[in-house]
A and B are shown apart, each in its own frame.
Chain A
Amino acid sequence: MIAGANTKTETGSSGLQPHAGKIAAGARPRVSMRGIVKTFGSVEALRGVDLDLYPGECLGLVGDNAAGKSTLTKILSGTYIPDGGTLEIDGEDVRLTGPSDARARHIEMVFQDLSLCDTIDVAGNLFLGREIIKNGFLDKRAMAEKAKEMLAALDIRIPNLSAKVAQLSGGQRQAIAIARAASFQPQVLIMDEPTSALAVAEVEAVLALIERVKVTGVSVVLITHRLQDLFRVCDRIAVMYEGTKVAERQVQETNLEDLVRLIVGDESVR
């Protein structure tokens, strides 16, 4: 499979949401966060963050460690309850009560290496927590067949579905985690460092996978320290610094050097 070429044709022919650079100014954001505040004891983790997410776009979220990226995504995925600010989903004001509430509203999060069981096979991992049961027993055949469909839909190639996840490469593992999240029909998919532990070819595969998820109309939030990845798949990049959003750039309006300066907090470029 030729990932790069493939995705371009898909994006072009799908007729779905094009790159966010072309989003009309009046388009309604799928998610709209305003003035989000979160403190942990005396630490102000977030100091009033505004962020919008549009359908079918990939938003890169960057910033130094402890800039507030993870806290912000955990608020969006329902893990943390914000101390202040508003969250609108499809124009409706909501207060998430927990991760299951977020999931019910089609917000999914892929955690780095926290979501797979090594000693269970590929199909079992894809259906973890929602096993198909027939007459009280696991329907392993049905799960294997559906798993094949799930992976095929995202063009993920894993030769042996009965292989234990421990035997797979880092890229394949990450692909399974993403495929599982994608199978919940998310509208927002948050990925925390999906490529940080991967080899070069595997990174390419995961980036191509993000493109494929994106063209189905899902809003993707990508947290990463690998800035070069952002320019491959993101439409917009938001930079966090010390609990605030210091900049937001369309990908075509920025470059690596600019981003690095924004991240480390160089006043001259702001």
Chain B
Amino acid sequence: MTLYTERGQGSAIEDFLAEHAQVLSIAGFFLVCILFFATMTDTFLTGGNILNLLRQAAPILIVASAMTFVITTAGIDLSVGSQVALVNALAAIAIAAGIPWPLVILMMLAAGAMIGLAQGWFIAHQEIPAFIVTLAGLSIFRGIALLLTKGYSIPIRDADGFTFLGRGAVAGIPIPAILSVLVAIIAYVVLDRMRYGRQVVAVGANREAARRVGMPARWVTASVYGLTGLASAFAGLLIAARLGSGSSNAAVGFELDVIAAVVLGGTSLMGGRGTIIGTVLGTLTIAAIGNGLILMHVSPFFTQIVTGAIILAAIWLNTRIFASGLRLGRKKS
């Protein structure tokens, strides 16, 4: 006589905690940051500062939403900052050349997607590690931007509609913030509720299994870099619109903020597990730390050190909590 073994089932609350440990811990950490800066400064929680924070966080959130897809496939895109700079400079050059700004926007978005897909082709079809391809991209795209602008900043004039996208507000809320939240919502729906998102997760979890059940594994791998390219172009346009100029020196170190936001949010660098809600919280946390430290009059040089240390500590805690949560789940057998 044999019995079919069954795992004992813990309480539903315990399952929920284990499943969402990462998002819950980043949410907790975010609240701690908010409370800390709210008590240490008088201005942090004012409406003006919050709107400012959201406006500044918008480009990071847009690219981090796309980066969540890339990291969920166990990839990485280091070139997003350089892509932002390239589109930023190209957009200013194109508008200065007299091309109507709505057309410029379409051209830039298409160019961003094409650049991303080209990198994706090297990664998916030529099987060169994403780290290498996008590291090369990081160098190449910034180089092209520098070459085109000769290092100068190019002003954007007589394109009020364009600059309104970066500076304007609807019902008091900055347009970049509204657009970035829209992007995050779309990313959430696609990753969690649509076939493409399921394919992204499957390719990240077990590429071979995904291929065997007939999923277009190569195309999925390549396409996520198209998404970061598209998102980088969008972010580059918003930054150009906000600053009213295009510069090859835009978004230096941007890729690190983006990757930190995604990983802080609980998306696994090993692939197979991605969360847009976590990415939103991660982005807000990074933006709040940067903003809060400035308000506290901490030296900007010191800010970088603190930001790095906080990210390391948060991710360390995050991994520990998550790992122990998993172990708890297993022990229940």
A interface residues, Cβ below 8 angstroms from B: 1-5, 99-100, 111, 114-120, 124, 128-131, 133, 136-138, 157, 159-160, 163-164, 166-169, 171-172, 199, 201-202, 204-205, 208
Residues of A within 8 A of B5 (CB): 169, 171, 199, 201-202, 205
* B interface with A by C-beta (< 8 Å): 1-7, 9, 15, 19, 189, 193-195, 198, 201-202, 204-206, 208-210, 212-215, 268, 272-273, 326, 329-330, 333
**Contacting B272 at CB < 8 Å: which of A119, A129, A130?**
A119
Q: Are B213 and A128 in contact (CB-based, < 8 A)?
A: yes
Specify which of B201, B268, B330 is in contact with A167 (CB 8 Å cutoff).
B330
What are 14 A-B pairs with beta-carbon distances under 8 A?
Answer: A3-B4, A114-B209, A115-B209, A128-B210, A129-B215, A130-B213, A130-B214, A138-B195, A159-B9, A160-B15, A164-B19, A169-B7, A171-B5, A208-B4
**CB distance A204 to B272 under 8 Å?**
no
**Beta-carbon nearest neighbor of B213 in chain A:** A129
Min CB distance, A51 to chain B, in Å?
24
Nearest residue (CB) in A for B190 is: A137
Inter-subunit contact A124/B2 (CB<8 Å): no
Q: Does A118 lie within 8 Å of B205, measured CB to CB?
A: yes
Shortest distance between the CB of B57 and any CB in chain A (Å):
28
Min C-beta distance of B269 to chain A, whole Å: 13
Residues in chain A near residue B330, CB distance under 8 A: 167
Contact A4 B2 (CB under 8 A): yes
- Chain A residues lying within 8 Å of B198, measured Cβ to Cβ, are 120, 124, 128, 131, 138
> What chain A residues lie within 8 Å of B204 (beta carbons)?
119
Give chain B residues whose Cβ lies under 8 Å from the Cβ of A111.
Answer: 212
Residue in A159, A164, A199 whose Cβ sees the most chain B Cβ within 10 Å: A164
B194 and A118 contact, CB distance less than 8 A: no
CA distance A159 to B194 in the complex (A): 26
Does B6 contact A159, Cβ atoms closer than 8 Å? yes
Chain B residues with CB under 8 Å of A202's CB are: 5
- Partner of A3 from B2, B9, B205, B326 at Cβ < 8 Å: B2
Q: Flag if A129 contacts B214 (CB, 8 Å).
A: yes
Check A201/B4 contact, CB under 8 A, given A159-B9, A160-B9.
yes
Q: Which of A5, A119, A157, A160 has the most CB of B within 10 A?
A: A119
Which 4 pairs of residues, A with B, have the shortest CB-CB distance?
Answer: A129-B213, A117-B205, A119-B272, A204-B2
A137 to B1, CA, bound (A): 45
Residues of chain B lying within 8 A (CB to CB) of residue A133: 195
Say yes or no: B3 contacts A201, CB within 8 Å: yes
Nearest CB of chain A from residue B242's CB, rounded to whole Å: 34
- Give the distance in Å from the alpha carbon of A2 to the alpha carbon of B4 in the complex: 7
Question: What is the bound-complex CA distance between A168 and B195, given in angstroms?
Answer: 24
Cα–Cα, bound, A5→B1 (Å): 7
Chain B proximity of A157: nearest CB distance (Å): 6
- Distance in Å: Cβ of A138 to nearest Cβ of chain B: 5
Q: How far, in whole Å, are A157 and B3 apart by their CA atoms in the complex?
A: 11
Task: Let me know if B195 and A114 touch, CB within 8 A.
Answer: no
Q: How far is the CA of A47 from the CA of B4 in the complex (A)?
A: 42
Contact A137 B193, CB 8 Å, known A114-B212, A117-B205, A129-B214: yes
In the bound complex, what is the Cα–Cα distance between A170 and B195 (angstroms)? Answer: 27
**Assembly CA distance A139 to B333 (angstroms):** 31
Say yes or no: A205-B4 contact (C-beta < 8 A), given A120-B205, A129-B215, A167-B329.
yes
Please state if B7 and A168 are interface contacts (CB–CB under 8 Å): yes
**Alpha-carbon distance A181/B5, docked complex (angstroms):** 22
Find chain A residues with CB under 8 A from B210 CB: 117, 128-129
Q: Give the distance in Å from the alpha carbon of A130 to the alpha carbon of B212 in the complex.
A: 12
Q: Are A136 and B194 in contact (CB under 8 A)?
A: yes
Give the complex CA separation of A160 and B125 in angstroms.
38
Closest to A159 in B: B9
Closest to B206 in A: A117
With a cutoff of 8 Å between Cβ atoms, the chain B residues found around residue A201 in the complex are: 2-5
**A49→B7 CA distance, assembly (Å):** 43
Q: With A and B bound together, what is the CA distance between A124 and B205 in angstroms?
A: 12
Once the chains are docked, how many angstroms separate the CA of A194 from the CA of B75? 31
Shortest distance between the CB of B109 and any CB in chain A (Å):
22
Across-interface contacts of B333 in A (CB, < 8 A): 169
Determine which residue in B9, B198, B272 has the highest number of CB atoms from chain A within 10 A of its CB, and name it.
B198
B281 CB to nearest chain A CB (Å): 20
Q: Which residues of A contact B329 (CB under 8 A)?
A: 167
Residues of chain B contacted by A199 (CB below 8 angstroms): 5
Tell me which residues across on chain A come within 8 A of B201, comparing CB atoms. Answer: 117, 119-120
Contact pick for B3, options A2, A128, A130, A169, CB 8 Å: A2
In the complex the two chains form, is A120's CB within 8 Å of B4's CB? no
Q: Report the separation of the CA atoms of residues A37 and B9 in the bound assembly, to the nearest whole angstrom.
A: 51
CA distance A193 to B204 in the complex (A): 25
Specify which chain A residues have a CB less than 8 angstroms from the CB of B212 in the assembled complex.
Answer: 99, 111, 114-115
